[in-house]
Chains A and B, each alone.
Chain A
């Protein structure tokens, strides 16, 4: 869950979606402002954090990329655990990827925490000439399932910051901690700032 302190909000955000839909590219664009034409399938670093200011508070996103475990339907439940937000990504030029995005939404509704903010990202919006999924179709689906929807492009940066911003604004604010949160073991003394969040 999102936790709050000194007008700081820590929020775990997970990315889900088909292979090659552009999950890692969206993160890379958001965190580093870059885009790679030939982004490799994700292995290696799969954990980022990025801070942004939304209205009254600073939100620190702790972003989890899937690391490929979903490829053979072997994603660990720990992945969704305590996530305050999820971005489900599909590729507008690929009908199958939209179908699989719907599967992820179902999975999240089953496993994730009920207050999770869910965003549907129709990525690769720059590929208008190869479009297979209409914005209208996705918008209707999103509305019916309680998600908010944006078309994005990691390549042109269209709506990338916006989608994270919108999530930041939608995160529940002064959510009372139901259960005192745990601690993260660290290899150095804790810094001034508060640690990452967890728990529901």
Chain B
């Protein structure tokens, strides 16, 4: 321990592990510690016994649920956009060789009390019961415009400058109604609130294209992929990358106190009476509680069920988005369900999550619209956690703190945070220009 490191990373959450890996690959001397005796921090996946310890104190899980080790229950459930930024990072770092992925079966949206498949292409739009016959044709036209749109080819712009035309104006041009725009905005473009309507349409068009391209990539029923054995595999894979490039790993280190010099700059980290010196510290908010502030709260329910989510074509893995407007809320609600097909539960069992940015202190009541879509559940756990963001000035104290994970089922903002931190730490920009058109999957 009593050595000097370039960087000490505290916490083995996904963000910290990606950074640890990138920094070790860059040749920096990295020490990575965690107060827990497992990898993943907040973004770990738990087996049944761990789950019961966490939410039911010392209770033993009932035998009918099967073997504890057949379960890998994510604490921060998220799906990965097949063509999104996380896949670029995975391929860029070659961490993919440690991981196995499978496409997610379905992507659905809640609309007027019912669950519908999200149409991703012009052909699917024509078949979707989400719209009436005339609206279908208008939507199809709009989808074709989006599919053909190419930022660098003005011929595809239909005379509009999408950096100034707002989404609302673009929609008006195609005559789409509010209901259609609601599912396009929230379930396809994956916006979390309605600000996008008055922002330049380019972002929304790009998001729609990403969605469609991701659906096309693995010919699944959704744009998402998900690792076998759960998301807890991701931090472990990046930790291995870091270790392979010389990073030193220590789990189960109590305290992990960050030490500062008289100028307020980081000087090292102390655990069990030993201090490791370092120039920089990278950590999650829990290691430097004085340098973060609370920015929100996530409410969620974790359920174990014996059936897939009803009305999702028996999807073994699925996401359902409940747009804010459909529920009269300020933020969207998300359903996430995974099963044996991704090795996160024994055969016949399903793990479902309902989550949202909390607007009250009563998750049981607040999450009800989502829970009602699940049908009967075998077990349910309610939980709330606070979200934090850093308030320090890294150039003054050399502390680089990640932002807590949000309620959404996506990773894009996770990767944006990591890339920004990487640039702050190293002064370099990570070039993620991997050729995704050449990238593909080797299927077993």
Contact = CB atoms under 8 A, between A and B. Distances in A.
**A and B associate:** yes
B443 A78 contact: no
B400 interface: no
A72 B251 contact: yes
B435 A187 contact: yes
Contacts of A46: 240, 243-244
A19 to B, nearest CB: 13
A77 B251 CA distance: 13
Contacts of B434: 187
Contacts of A73: 251-252
A189 B440 CA distance: 6
B249 A184 contact: no
B228 A198 contact: yes
Given A69-B240, A79-B240, A186 B439 contact: yes
Given A73-B252, A76-B240, A78-B233, A184 B438 contact: no
Interface stretch (A121-129, A159-167, A174-182): A174-182
A185 B101 contact: yes
Contacts of B23: none
A185 B229 CA distance: 16
A22 B335 CA distance: 49
Nearest to A72: B250
B138 interface: no
A2 to B, nearest CB: 12
A196 B90 CA distance: 17
Interface centre among A46, A183, A191, A197 (most CB of B within 10 A): A183
A183 B226 CA distance: 10
Given A74-B251, A78-B98, A185-B96, A190 B243 contact: no
A188 B438 contact: yes
A185 B87 contact: yes
Contacts of A71: 248-249
A190 B443 contact: yes
A73 B38 CA distance: 10
Nearest to B241: A67
A195 B94 CA distance: 15
B341 A179 contact: yes
Interface string A40-82: 0001111100000000000000000001110111101111010
B274 to A, nearest CB: 12
Contact of B97 (A47, A69, A72): A47
Contact of A3 (B340, B440, B444): B444
A157 interface: no
Interface residues on B, range: 35 or more
Nearest to B435: A187
Given A47-B97, A69-B249, A190 B244 contact: no
A188 B236 CA distance: 24
Contacts of A179: 340-341, 343
Contact of B240 (A44, A78, A180, A196): A78
A44 B245 CA distance: 5
Interface string B75-95: 000000000000100110010
Contacts of A181: 100, 228, 444
Contacts of A186: 91, 96, 439-442
A197 B444 contact: yes
A74 B98 CA distance: 17
A133 interface: no
Nearest to A197: B444
Contact of B244 (A44, A77, A188): A44
Contacts of A183: 100-102, 218, 441-444
B439 A184 contact: no
Contacts of A77: 39, 236
A194 B94 CA distance: 18
Contact of B343 (A185, A187, A196, A199): A199
A8 B163 CA distance: 54
Nearest to B443: A183
Contact of B245 (A43, A74, A189): A43
Give the most central of B102, B243, B434, B438: most A CB within 10 Å. Answer: B243
Contacts of A44: 244-246
Contact of B444 (A67, A72, A189, A194): A194
Contact of A199 (B100, B252, B442): B100
Contacts of A191: 442
Contacts of A45: 244
Contacts of B250: 72, 74
Contacts of A199: 100, 228, 343
A73 B253 CA distance: 11
Contacts of B240: 46, 67, 69, 76, 78-79
B425 to A, nearest CB: 21
Given A46-B244, A67-B244, 5 more contacts: A78-B236, A180-B341, A187-B438, A194-B442, A194-B444
Interface of B: 39, 87, 90-91, 94, 96-102, 218, 225, 227-229, 233, 236-237, 239-240, 243-246, 248-252, 340-341, 343, 434-435, 438-444
28 contacts: A43-B243, A44-B245, A44-B246, A46-B240, A67-B240, A67-B244, A68-B243, A68-B249, A71-B249, A74-B249, A78-B98, A78-B237, A78-B240, A81-B229, A180-B341, A182-B100, A182-B227, A182-B444, A183-B101, A183-B102, A183-B441, A185-B90, A186-B91, A186-B440, A187-B435, A190-B440, A191-B442, A199-B228
